[in-house]
Structures are given as C-alpha cells and as structure tokens.
C-alpha cells in the first residue's frame, strides 16, 4: 500500500523553552471510502485490476497511512545537536472499490460483501494500532552532526515516519484473513453462509494481542438500540443537493439507501441486520448488499477510535457518510455550535439536538480547496435507533468577489417502523 511522508521540523538554538507543548500523538481516522463498479466481462475497462485465479470479481484499494513527525533540536555547536521527537500525526484512510461483472450472480455479490466486511472489521481498530505504533517514538532522542544539521534531522525524521507507516501496513494484515476467507468459501463456489465464513476467517487469522485487564463500558452502538424492541427499523437516504440560486439548495436524486433493523437483543449483545442499496446514474436502485452483525453490550474503551478525539474530530467520522467532502480537512479546536430543532419525517415531528462545526482544508493535501470551508451539521435524537436523524456536509469555495461555489451532501432518516419517535413541538 502507498504511504505519504511529511517532515515538520522545529529548529531551536539553545535550551528549549519551558513553554513548549507537551509531546503528543494525534491519530486522524478518515471515513472509509467504499464503492462498487460494474464491468462487461467481455470488454473490461482498462482501469479494472486483473482478475486472479477463479475470481469473477476483484477488489482495488486498501489501507492508506500518512505520517508526519515533528522534532525539536537543541544545537550544542556549529556541527552538533540533539533532537527530541515531540509530535507525531498519523492520518488513516480505507479506500476500497469492488469490481463486479454486469448482472452478477447473487453468490458473487455476497462473496464480495464478505471481503468488504473483513476490510471494515480491520479498519475498526486502525486508530488503536496506529497509536500503539507511534507512541514509542515520542521523546526519542536523536544525535545530529554535520555541516547541515537541518538536512540531517530531516533525513532522520523521514526514516521515523517511514518506519511508522511500514509497521502500520504490516500489522494491518488483512490479506491473510482475505485469503483464508477465499479458501473457506472456495472463492464463492462452496455453499456456506457468508457471515459464517467471515467469522471463521477472522477467528482463525485476526491478530488479537494480549491486553491488560481493563474496565469495560457500555458500547455506544448497543446503547443506541437498547430501548427498542426487535423489529425496529430505520432507513436512511443519501443524496446530493444542487444550488438553485445563491441562497437555496434543491434536493437531488437519492444516491443510496441504507437500512438498519434490530433482530435480537439481550443483556449481553444485539444482533443487527443491514442493507445497503446504491442507485445507478439514473437513480434506479441496484441490488442491495445485506449482512448481519453482532455487537457486544460492553467493550474496551481503548479500542474506540473516537474515544480520545475532540467532538469536532468525531463529527468528521460519526455516522454514515453520504459523500467524501470531509477528505483533507483539519479537525479544529473552535467550539462547535449547538441547538435544538424539530424535524418532520413521514408526518412525525421528531425533537432533535443539533451540532455544527466548521473546518478548513489542509492546503498540502488539497491545494484546490485551500480557501474553502466545510460545515458539518448533525441532528440526533435518543428516540430514534442509531440516534441519527439528519447529517449534512456543505463545502463553500470562493469563485470571485461576489460568487461562491457550494455543494452539499445529506444523509437523512427516510422511514422508520417498529417504534414511535417522541413528537416535537
């Protein structure tokens, strides 16, 4: 997998100031970018990866990591210095595209869905793995010598960043599990339920390093369904909005539908059913991908990638993403705005709490958007399973003195059944 390395140096001559920031590791886990493309087996497009073995579909993409390392250097003379690593930032991403033949057989679609589930399972713990790799480098001392101290330190920090990204790729050993899944299913030819094959492959190959005993806490996803009965179901629609005039958006066609349904719940776990159906370019629904997951009532909070992030950073990744507008933005430290609102869904007025945060784009990652801003707004309610009622992402970029380019994507509650949400005013 490809990794990008960024070097950030802080050159200080003399004794470091007591006001220096405390060493820190920052892990930014971006939303997974999952997609499906279709091809004619007799005339495959040039950008489709080659099929291997008996496979009729193929995956492209994988785990990406971007490490940036900061060091503070104390120069002792013209040719010698000592540097201390005092800041590490690792940005993580999962990009995955599944290539399916036109009008694929059900077994091919289900088999590909199993591969997707395995990749997402690994990505759940990506933040924990990256932090565990990066933290030992904090405070590391580097002896620097030579006529160009800055260049020598740059080379040393470059090496550390490369070590972090290489070790991350090594520990995210998803291909071992993917290969075992193919063996268990005989590349979709063996009649075995996909959830069973995925569970077996993960059980046999997923790395589970020994952990110290920790106090478990209630799992947020379990709590989001705890007060609902089996059969409760929510359906979310994703769509783009187009700008009708400078101040008004017009809703575009639905680009995908995602459903969640509670199948079973007890004091130890819940079992959820999922369905995700993309639409084609004409807005027509495609065959849905369906799967089930079991979520424990309690978990180790150290495994939660959102646990140590600011609320601003959490808003970038929490809940299903309708688009990829958040790629390349900086989590900010500006206080987010909050308020109360009532949203109507199929005649029901749902009382919600909303949060809104504004972000700037990293000009080094997305120079095209260096003067743009992104606003994410989230409406939630405890009376709706998952808690999500609506989420919007709006990007605004200056065109000229009087005009702005604006685009917005939305994920919103489309329908519900098996429960009655609390009615707002």
Per-residue pLDDT, averaged over 84-111, amounts to 92
Instruction: Say if residues 5 and 114 touch (Cβ distance below 8 Å).
Output: no
Calculate helix-pair angle for 126-134, 106-124, nearest 10 degrees.
Answer: 40
Written as one string, the DSSP assignment of 397-411 is: EE-SSS-EEEEEEEE
Confidence of residue 16 (pLDDT cuts 50, 70, 90): very low
Instruction: Say if residues 411 and 390 touch (Cβ distance below 8 Å).
Output: yes
Tens of pLDDT, residues 146-179: 788 888 888 888 889 999 999 999 989 899 999 9
Mean pLDDT of the chain: 83
Confidence of residue 308 (pLDDT cuts 50, 70, 90): low
> In this model, does residue 18 exceed pLDDT 50?
no
Q: By three-state DSSP, how is residue 70 classified?
A: strand
Tens of pLDDT, residues 282-292: 777 788 888 88
Helices (H) and strands (E) in the chain, counts: 7, 17
Q: pTM of the predicted model, to two decimals?
A: 0.52
Size (the chain), residues: 425
Per-residue pLDDT, averaged over 18-47, amounts to 82
The pLDDT score that the predictor gives to residue 313 is: 72
* Residue that is written with structure tokens 């507008």 in the block: 325
Instruction: Say if residues 410 and 398 touch (Cβ distance below 8 Å).
Output: no
Confidence of residue 65 (pLDDT cuts 50, 70, 90): very high
Tens of pLDDT, residues 385-418: 999 999 999 998 888 766 678 889 999 999 999 8
Tens of pLDDT, residues 105-142: 999 999 999 999 999 999 998 999 999 999 888 888 88
Distance between CA 107 and CA 164 in Å, rounded?
39
Q: By three-state DSSP, how is residue 46 classified?
A: coil
The pLDDT score that the predictor gives to residue 350 is: 93
Nearest to 271 by CA among 258, 280, 260, 279: 260
Say which DSSP state 2 is in: -
Q: CB under 8 Å to 346, separation ≥6 — which residues?
A: 415, 416
Q: CB under 8 Å to 295, separation ≥6 — which residues?
A: 219, 221, 222, 269, 270, 271, 272
Q: Which domains are delineated in the chain?
A: 24-203 (no CATH), 217-417 (2.40.360)
Say which DSSP state 102 is in: S
Distance between CA 316 and CA 311 in Å, rounded?
9
């Amino acid at each position: 997998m490809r990794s990008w390395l960024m070097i950030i140096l802080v050159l200080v001559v003399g004794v470091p100031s007591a006001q220096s920031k405390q060493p820190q590791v920052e892990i930014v886990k971006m939303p997974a970018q999952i997609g499906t493309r279709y091809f004619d087996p007799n005339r495959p497009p040039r950008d489709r990866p080659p099929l291997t073995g008996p496979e009729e579909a193929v995956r492209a993409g994988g785990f990406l990591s971007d490490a940036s390392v900061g060091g503070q250097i104390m120069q002792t003379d013209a040719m010698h210095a000592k540097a201390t690593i005092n800041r590490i930032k690792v940005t993580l991403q999962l990009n995955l595209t599944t290539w399916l033949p036109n009008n694929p057989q059900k077994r091919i679609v289900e088999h590909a869905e199993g591969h997707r589930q395995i990749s997402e399972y690994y990505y759940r713990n990506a933040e924990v793995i990256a932090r565990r790799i990066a933290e030992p480098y904090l405070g590391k001392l580097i002896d620097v010598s030579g006529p160009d101290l800055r260049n020598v330190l740059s080379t040393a920090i470059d090496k550390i960043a490369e070590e972090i990204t290489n070790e991350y790729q090594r520990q995210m050993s998803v291909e071992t599990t993917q290969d075992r899944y193919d063996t268990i299913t005989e590349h979709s030819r063996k009649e075995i339920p996909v959830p069973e094959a995925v569970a077996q492959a993960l059980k046999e190959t997923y790395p589970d390093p020994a952990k110290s005993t920790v106090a478990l806490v209630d799992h947020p996803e379990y709590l989001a369904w705890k007060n609902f009965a089996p059969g409760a179901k929510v359906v979310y629609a994703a769509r783009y909005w187009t700008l009708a005039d400078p101040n008004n958006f017009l809703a575009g066609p639905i680009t995908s539908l995602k459903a969640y349904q509670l199948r079973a719940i007890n004091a130890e776990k819940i079992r959820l059913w999922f369905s995700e159906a993309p639409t084609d370019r004409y807005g027509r629904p495609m065959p849905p991908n369906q799967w089930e997951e079991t979520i424990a009532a309690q978990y180790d909070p150290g495994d939660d990638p959102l646990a140590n992030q600011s609320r601003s950073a959490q808003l970038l990744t929490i809940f299903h993403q309708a688009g990829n507008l958040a790629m390349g933005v900086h989590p900010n430290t500006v206080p987010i705005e909050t308020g109360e609102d009532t949203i109507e869904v199929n005649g029901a007025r749902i009382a919600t709490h909303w949060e809104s945060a504004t972000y700037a784009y990293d000009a080094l990652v997305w120079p095209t958007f260096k003067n743009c801003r992104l606003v994410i707004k989230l409406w939630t309610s405890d009376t709706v399973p998952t808690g999500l009622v609506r989420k919007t992402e709006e990007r605004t970029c200056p065109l000229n003195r009087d005009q702005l380019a604006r685009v917005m994507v939305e994920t919103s509650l489309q329908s519900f059944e098996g429960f009655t949400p609390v009615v707002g005013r």
